[in-house]
Amino acid sequence: MHRPLLASLVAAALTASGCASPQAATPSAPLAYPPAKTVDVTDNYHGTVVADPYRWLEEYSDETNSWIDQQEALARAYLDAIPQRSAIRSKLEALWNYERFGMPEKAGSRYIYSRNDGLQNQSVVYVTDSLNGEPRVFIDPNTLSKDGTVALGTISVTDDGKYAAYSVAEAGSDWNIIKVRDVATGKDLSDLVEWVKFSGATWSKDGSGFYYSRFDAPADGNKLKAVNEFHKIYWHKLGTPQSQDVLVYDRKDQPRWYLGAGVSDDGRWLIIGIESGDSVNNAMAYRDLSKPEAPLVELFNKFDAKYNFLGNDATTFYVQSDLDAPRGRVWAIDVAKPERANWREVVPQTKDALSSATIVGDRLFCNYLQDAKSVVHIYSLDGKKTSEVPLPGICTATGFAGKRTERETFFATSGYTLPPSVYRYDLASGKAEVFKAPKTPFDGSQYETKQAFATSKDGTKIPMFITHRKGMKLDGNNPTMLYGYGGFNIPLTPAFSPVKCGWLEMGGVWVDANLRGGGEYGEEWHRGGMRLTKQNTFDDCIACGEWLVANKFTTSKRLAVQGGSNGGLLVGAVMTQRPDLWGACLPAVGVLDMLRFQKFTIGWGWVGDYGSSDNPEEFKVLYGFSPYHNVKKGVCYPPTLITTGDHDDRVYPAHSFKFAAAMQAEQAKVAGCTSPILLRVEKRAGHGAGKPTSKRIEEAADMYAFVAKIFGMEAK
């Protein structure tokens, strides 16, 4: 989860600057934190002895659960007492209450798409006989639980549109089960596949069954903590029990590989994608399904670049790759003669990063990032640029999926003040027409987005998107939210959010920082903020914060920093490195113990980006910025609200528990320090995916009521 959650308007109106007083408001007395015992546990990392006094919080014992309950009680008492919270929640709910649509997917002669009426906990999936036809409910995940915590994952439809395989997850967990539903009747078949993680279903051409990836069930039954290793690909024949599924591919010598299966549009090729937890690159293999005894062939096996199969003409594979092209390009590779000398470059590398590419209707849709905003070019399969998809200003475009035989595709656009609209693109005419455009209660015409560049510690220019009300005065007094991620080659691009809109209506400034480690400028930008260079990510964020203060957008007392997951690490690092720069800190579901992250669930999958404490050189870097290990004595840290979910099996919640315990223990010792350190633990919630609307609203209301109180933002 790296998209922000943001609070809303605190009453009918606020002052133009969003506050009644330029001074931050803090409690008159320090909080009494729940006691957290310390234990004498140390680890020796290559000759350096490191204490881990809160190791006991890694276990879900009665003692740990009691401590969590006390933390939640403290947080609830503090947050519920904030006068602005009720108004924030009400306005946030109002801003969220607008109709939203997903992009249609072809299901034989029918279409399937999602819709949310505004406040439904989960979006409902509909099926319709035509785009203008009357839709009928196909899957309503809101009926699967009373509290909306059972969420729908991926949906995959057979070529003839007869069956749909869909996955569901409970309480925010990454564990999924796959079921099969008859599209015409809306009835489920008997098929049930369990222990699926990081995988959907991929149907064979004839619809007789599907491929999927899974882990073994955890041996000790601890499905939220146990390390997940030895991913496997299986074939499930429709109408049979899972016990009869056929193992297609596994690697007993590679416990830390992710394996995924896909089938080419013509049904001939099984494509195996292989990712290693130790590398940011991947490998790829294939099998000729037209030959029953055909072997699995390793096409790329050196982990020397990223490879993404786009489609094929007979034995010619179209592949997107950053091999010797850090911003990406497209190759045509004949697997009958796969030597590098025989590759044909279809789309060369450009000055912009190739974020994604798809083949629909014999056309290549290449989605580029131009200074972190979308530009979409269309090419013929011989590499000739034919046109460009018109986009509405500074925005992010997604979609452009479909099969080779189709003559239409769909895409969506979204921006900071631009609600997500869905378009149908006609390949014959080259025209894009609106399929669904929401009407929101937010008036985006009152706000503007601009791009600015801060200079990082080493001289690198770091872009930021800054959104605020038109005519806002740069008087150094505007409450400002700086959001960042900076990791895993993931770009932070313009996106609409009702909670961002709430912050803007409060008179606040919203800033997205495009930090190194992300994918905004391709692989070089990614590598500039990973492993041994990870500190660059934090330096970039600090530089952006300093730029906002120097250019009179805000002051450090009114500057909040926010991020989730890898962004939670970002917040933890910059607040322990520069506590003087921030007025409030909001680390969510963060990776905060950088020496032990690889020991839980799928943490080993992040070694490629972070490195590992098992490596002496990487240990020194990790130890230098690990938030849990860099909480210092005698420092009054900024007011901080740490958030996590009790079912987070992506970033194990103990990261947040241990960091909160360490922060509270040291903060309580600093004389005169009244800045609160709170831990909010959401029950029946995970890393963020599938979180019901009601929980999102409550979490956002808490997070930004907290900021409103700290910043002294009072309603008139």
Q: Which residues pair with 101 in a beta bridge?
A: 115
Counted residue by residue, the chain has a size of 716
Q: E strand or H helix at 371, and its extent?
A: none
Q: Give the angle subtended at the CA of 511 by the CAs of 539 and 550, to the nearest 5°.
A: 60
Amino acid, single-letter form, for residue 471: G
Question: How many of the other CB atoms lie within 10 Å of CB of 188?
Answer: 13
Q: Is 99 exposed, middle or buried (0-12, 13-18, 19+ CB in 10 A)?
A: middle
End-to-end Cα separation, the chain, in angstroms: 35
List the structure tokens of 430: 């080259």
In angstroms and rounded to an integer, the radius of gyration of the C-alpha atoms of the chain is 25
Instruction: Sort strands 584-588 and 559-564 into parallel, antiparallel or unpaired.
Output: parallel
Name residues whose C-beta falls within 8 Å of residue 133's C-beta, 6 or more positions apart in sequence: none
Is-contact 605 17, C-beta < 8 A? no
Instruction: Sort strands 447-455 and 584-588 into parallel, antiparallel or unpaired.
Output: unpaired
Kindly list the strands in the beta sheet with 353-360, ordered across the sheet, starting from the edge strand earlier in the chain: 353-360, 363-370, 373-380, 385-389
Of 478, 663, 482, the C-alpha closest to 586 is 482
Is-contact 289 268, C-beta < 8 A? yes
User: Cα separations (Å) of 513 from 4, 198, 466, 491, 545?
Assistant: 12, 28, 9, 10, 9
Question: How many of the other CB atoms lie within 10 Å of CB of 205?
Answer: 15
Place of tokens 């030597």: 339
Contacts 24+ apart (CB under 8 A), 55-60: 55/658, 57/654, 57/657, 57/658, 57/661, 58/225, 58/600, 58/652, 58/654, 58/657, 58/658, 60/224, 60/225
Active site residue 687: yes
Q: Which residues pair with 299 in a beta bridge?
A: none
Catalytic residue among 8, 356, 565, 612: 565
Q: Which residues pair with 466 in a beta bridge?
A: 450, 511
DSSP code, position 104: P
Catalytic residue among 377, 647, 655, 687: 687
DSSP code, position 43: E
Is-contact 662 693, C-beta < 8 A? no
Helix axis angle, 535-550 relative to 616-625, nearest 10°? 30
| Three-class DSSP category at 696 | helix
Is-contact 312 333, C-beta < 8 A? no
Q: Give the angle subtended at the CA of 149 by the CAs of 145 and 150, to the nearest 5°.
A: 65
Question: How many of the other CB atoms lie within 10 Å of CB of 169?
Answer: 22
| Three-class DSSP category at 563 | strand
Q: E strand or H helix at 445, and its extent?
A: none
Q: Is 231 exposed, middle or buried (0-12, 13-18, 19+ CB in 10 A)?
A: buried
Alpha-carbon distance of 246 to 705, in angstroms, equals 52
Instruction: Sort strands 447-455 and 431-436 into parallel, antiparallel or unpaired.
Output: unpaired
Is-contact 581 545, C-beta < 8 A? yes
Is-contact 662 50, C-beta < 8 A? no
Q: Which residues pair with 357 in a beta bridge?
A: 366
What φ, ψ does residue 603 adopt, rounded to 5°? Answer: -60, -30
Residues serving a catalytic function are: 565, 687
